[in-house]
Amino acid sequence: MNAIIFGAPGSGKGTYASRLQSRLGVEVIATGDIFREIMKKETALGKKVKGYVEKGLLVPDDIVIEVLKHRLAKIPKEKGFILDGYPRTLEQAETLDEIAKIDVILLLTVPEWIIIERLSSRRICKNCGAVYNIRFLKPKVDMVCDKCGGPLFQRSDDNPEVIKKRTQVYEEQTRPILQFFEERKVPFVVANCDTLDTPPDAVVKTILKNLSKLKMV
């Protein structure tokens, strides 16, 4: 099964995709993680990507598409995938339509106030990338990763002003892509999250139930 998990920044795409990965036996391709790895390298590409990300802007299509093609080529033919963070523009969606068949859209709907609350309190391990939340998923030791003991940090784009910019970019440039897939008769599975304390497993259960109704699991 080839799927796209779709939702505004901070809607929980990475959290739900990682849980669905083991349940469905698919690969997860998270373009955000890929770009963060690129930004760690002091290359010309890394510095260019960092400039866009820190301003809450989308990385240009030609860069994103090149990175995606490289990653898709590494997935065994017998395995499916979940795309997290791609496509974000119509051009990206059209290119994807040419290189891969998408079976289902997993659509997360989350109010902006929840997104701001989640992201502004998010902390990430510098060593292993584990994600914490100082309100809802605290580490055992303040600002220290439970898994590897690495230091936690707040991403430069996880502040209210940039978050609002990111959600605005999402609404203006990305949501029209839903219509693109609707016109191609790709089925949608919708999962709503209207409270801050909704357990991730409850959302995953809803997604799996709806995939079952479509006879995809």
- Whether residue 87 has a cis bond before it, omega within 30° of 0: yes
Token couple for 142: 């303040």
Token couple for 204: 């995953």
Are the beta carbons of 24 and 1 closer than 8 angstroms?
A: yes
Token couple for 47: 């510095």
Catalytic residue among 19, 118, 122, 123: 122
Tell me the residue type at 24.
L
> Is 41 one of the catalytic residues?
no
Could you tell me which residues come within 8 angstroms of residue 212 by beta carbon, excluding any fewer than 6 positions away? none
Q: Give residue 22's Cα distance to chain centre.
A: 17
Could you tell me which residues come within 8 angstroms of residue 142 by beta carbon, excluding any fewer than 6 positions away? none
Q: Provide the 3-class DSSP secondary structure of residue 76.
A: coil
Could you tell me which residues come within 8 angstroms of residue 43 by beta carbon, excluding any fewer than 6 positions away? none
Catalytic residue among 48, 138, 155, 164: 155
Catalytic residue among 19, 118, 123, 166: 166
Burial call 64-97: b when 16+ CB within 10 Å, e when fewer: bbebbeebbeeeeeeebbbbbbbbbbeebbebbe
> Is 155 one of the catalytic residues?
yes
> Is 166 one of the catalytic residues?
yes
> Is 13 one of the catalytic residues?
yes
Compute the distance between CA of residue 13 and CA of residue 84 in angstroms, rounded to an integer: 6
Known catalytic residues are 13, 88, 122, 155, 166
